[in-house]
């Protein structure tokens, strides 16, 4: 079922698995720890994403709150993201292998593959009662250096993971944004046979 809160702003043109619509990116987290079992179930979900030649280019570098590595990841974030990530239970830097392990040739789709893994993780989080929030707002070069990411891997994104907190914890500006957003209509994103050729919606 689509969550009551989500249903206030989100609706689908066709019936789909509600977990997809129920995934959104809140910023208010409960200042709480996550168990390894909960966290590794998310990585397990990511692991089953499809990829070009089953190359599985995704890699996840995580730090749990109150762990020795937390500050290394937290300090990569821009100030805007730091203000709401401080209560997250885990931060993850996602990196992606740019070439195939078996022949060293560049993979055109490695980011696409790694994106699929992130979405699996995010969907699994919903079914575990957790929230996730992806971020590009961090220092990519510092991440490469501080986390010792090898040259043949690209730093792709970060994610905050945790339990949802009350929106009142956020600044007034962020409280106003703590609402599930909407999407472009299908008529704008689906084309019939050629770019720009509008699809007839069934």
Ligand X SMILES: Cc1cc2nc3c(=O)[nH]c(=O)nc-3n(C[C@H](O)[C@H](O)[C@H](O)COP(=O)(O)O)c2cc1C
Given 19, 52, 137, 149, the residue binding ligand X (CB under 6 A): 137
- Angstrom distance (rounded) from CA 31 to CA 162: 8
Q: Write the CA distances from 57 to 65, 98, 113, 118, integer angstroms.
A: 26, 7, 7, 12
Q: Which residue matches tokens 């999407």?
A: 183
Nearest residue (CB) to ligand X, 102 versus 181: 181
Structure tokens at 167: 């929106």
Given 34, 92, 155, 157, the residue binding ligand X (CB under 6 A): 157
Nearest residue (CB) to ligand X, 110 versus 133: 133
In this chain, which stretch among 13-21, 43-51, 102-110, 134-142 interacts with ligand X, using CB under 6 A? 134-142
Structure tokens at 181: 């957003």
Nearest residue (CB) to ligand X, 25 versus 100: 25
SS (H, E, C) 44-63: HHHHCCCCHHHCCCEEEEEE
Given 93, 135, 143, 161, the residue binding ligand X (CB under 6 A): 135
Q: Under the criterion CB under 6 A, does residue 93 sit at the interface with ligand X?
A: no
Nearest residue (CB) to ligand X, 14 versus 195: 14
Beta carbon of residue 14, minimum distance to ligand X (angstroms, whole number): 18
Q: Which residue matches tokens 């909960």?
A: 38
Closest C-alpha among 101, 119, 100, 111 to residue 48: 119
Site for ligand X in 163-182 (CB under 6 A): 180-181
Site for ligand X in 8-27 (CB under 6 A): 24-25
Helical spans, DSSP H, in 54-131: 70-74, 79-85, 110-127
Contact 14, 149 (CB under 8 A): no
Q: In what order do the strands lie in the sheet with 90-97?
A: 58-64, 90-97, 153-162, 131-135
Nearest residue (CB) to ligand X, 59 versus 100: 59
- Angstrom distance (rounded) from CA 200 to CA 165: 42
Nearest residue (CB) to ligand X, 21 versus 34: 21
Given 123, 125, 134, 170, the residue binding ligand X (CB under 6 A): 134
Q: Under the criterion CB under 6 A, does residue 136 sit at the interface with ligand X?
A: yes
In this chain, which stretch among 31-39, 53-61, 128-136, 164-172 interacts with ligand X, using CB under 6 A? 128-136
The binding site for ligand X (CB under 6 A) comprises 24-25, 81, 133-137, 157, 180-181
């Amino acid at each position: 079922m689509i969550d009551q809160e989500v249903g206030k702003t989100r609706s689908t043109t066709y019936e789909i698995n509600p977990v997809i619509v129920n995934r959104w990116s809140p910023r208010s987290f409960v200042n709480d720890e996550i168990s390894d079992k909960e966290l590794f179930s998310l990585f397990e979900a990511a692991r089953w994403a499809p990829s070009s030649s089953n190359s599985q280019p995704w890699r996840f570098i995580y730090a749990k709150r109150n762990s020795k590595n937390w500050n290394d990841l937290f300090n990569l974030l821009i100030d805007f993201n730091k203000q709401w990530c401080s209560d997250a239970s885990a931060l993850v830097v996602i990196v992606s292998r740019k070439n195939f392990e078996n022949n060293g040739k560049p993979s055109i789709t490695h980011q696409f593959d790694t994106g699929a893994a992130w979405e699996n993780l995010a969907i699994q989080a919903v079914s575990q009662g957790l929230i996730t929030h992806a971020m590009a707002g961090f220092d990519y070069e510092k991440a490469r250096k501080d986390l010792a990411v090898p040259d043949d891997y690209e730093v792709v994104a970060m994610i905050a993971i945790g339990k949802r907190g009350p929106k009142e914890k956020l600044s007034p500006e962020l409280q106003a944004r703590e609402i599930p957003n909407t999407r472009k209509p299908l008529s704008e994103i689906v084309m019939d046979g050629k770019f720009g050729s509008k699809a007839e919606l069934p």
